[in-house]
Every structure is written in structure tokens, then in C-alpha cells.
Amino acid sequence: MKPYQHIPIRECSEPLVAIPLSEFAVETPHPYVKLGANYAGKSPYYLRAGVLTALQQAQAALQQHHPGWRVQIFDAYRPVAVQQFMVDYTLQETLRSRDLRLETLSAAEQAALWAEIYQFWALPSLDVATPPPHSTGAALDVTLVNADGQPVAMGSPIDELSPRSHPHHFAQASDPAAQQYHAQRELLGAIMSQAGFCRHPHEWWHFSLGDQMWAWQQRQQGHDRGAIARYGRCEA
């Protein structure tokens, strides 16, 4: 179990609501749908009502300093079945890119590979006490687009399994382009944190509010030593 999975959940029963896509930038079709993920005919663009309100606040803060810029939503609500699909897909793509076969790896090599994958991907658990963050409707993956609708360069793509994905990877860089990547990540982090979100320690793009990871970070950062999650697994 990851540390945040020990945080208790007191479900508040707040509904999942559709994200008004006209307010934000989105990819069409959805990135995981393009890969073959099955959302059972439902839209992946859902969040808990309070999380959506916070996201709208984050975008409003962004536009105060960068008129015309928008938050681009890469992914939001994710059923556990889609979480499983993406874990399996990531495993196969990682093996392919490294010219490996799972059955030829030793037990230690397989364990190291899975540890690498689960550093970025949550376990697709069906246990109501340990839901994947995205399956609560309280987590989302986002980036920024500028006033021309062009993605803002962040230095690595969303979902990349590499140290470049860590939020502060470019913090000490001397190269001007890398310094700009860090500045853009800091901008994204600032508008989201001002709205109440916490960012995943290993992913510059992943933010949550009210789930177990958020509550764990509240405790770790000393904001609320008794924080608990108010959003558990839910169904769209």
C-alpha cells in the first residue's frame, strides 16, 4: 500500500457532475479513448461538484495574469476498469520500448518494473478503502494552453515514466528552455494550489482535492494533521 491509502475516507456523497467543456481546453477524442480504453459509453469528463468549482477558480486565477489562457483537461474521472487498462497498456508499452519480454525477466526485474510503473500509476484496486484517485472524481490531469490555443511547453508529456515527470525536475536547470519549463510548471502548480488542490509528488500534471492523496499531503505539509478524505470511489 502507498502511504496515502491508509487515510480514512468519510464519503460526503457529493455528486459527479459533467465538466462544461466549452470553458476549458480538451483533447478530442479523449487520449485514453484513442488508445482503446472503454468508458462504457460514458464521458470521462466528470468531476465531483466541489472539485469542478475549484478548477473553475484555478482557471479564473490563471486568466487574471494570462488573459486568454486556459486549463487543458487531459483526464478526469476514471473508472477502475480504465485504470486497469492503462496500467496494462503502460506495462506493454514499457516492455516494447525497452525490447523486453515479461516472461524472460527475473522475479527481481519484474518487481523493479512494476515498482517503476506504480510510482506513477495507482493500483487498480476494487477495495472501497483504497480507491485509485481518479476513480473518486477528485483527481485530474491538466496542463495549460496559451491564448492561441497552443499547449504550453512543460518539458515532458503527460504520463511519461521518467524523472522528467517530477514537478521540480527542472528547478536547478541552467538551460533557458528548461528554466521556462520549470516556470510553467510553477505557474500551473500555483493556480491549482491557490484553489485548494495538491499536486502528486511525482507528476507535474496530476492534482487532487478531497481524496486520500490530498488528505495525506495536508497532513504531511502540516496544514491539517487530522485530515481525512471526503471522496471515495464513485460511479458515473
Amino acid in the structure at residue 76: A
User: Are 205 and 74 in contact, with CB atoms under 8 Å apart?
Assistant: yes
Residue 98, SS3 per DSSP = coil
Note the Cα 129 to chain centre separation in Å.
20
What gap in Å lies between CA 120 and CA 82, rounded to an integer? 15
Residue ranges of alpha helices (H) inside the chain are 31-35, 49-65, 80-97, 107-120, 176-194, 212-220
* 25: Cα within 13 Å, side-chain hemisphere: 18
Nearest to 62 by CA among 134, 152, 137, 141: 152
Provide the annotated active-site residues: 203
Nearest to 147 by CA among 45, 72, 204: 72
What gap in Å lies between CA 6 and CA 127, rounded to an integer? 12
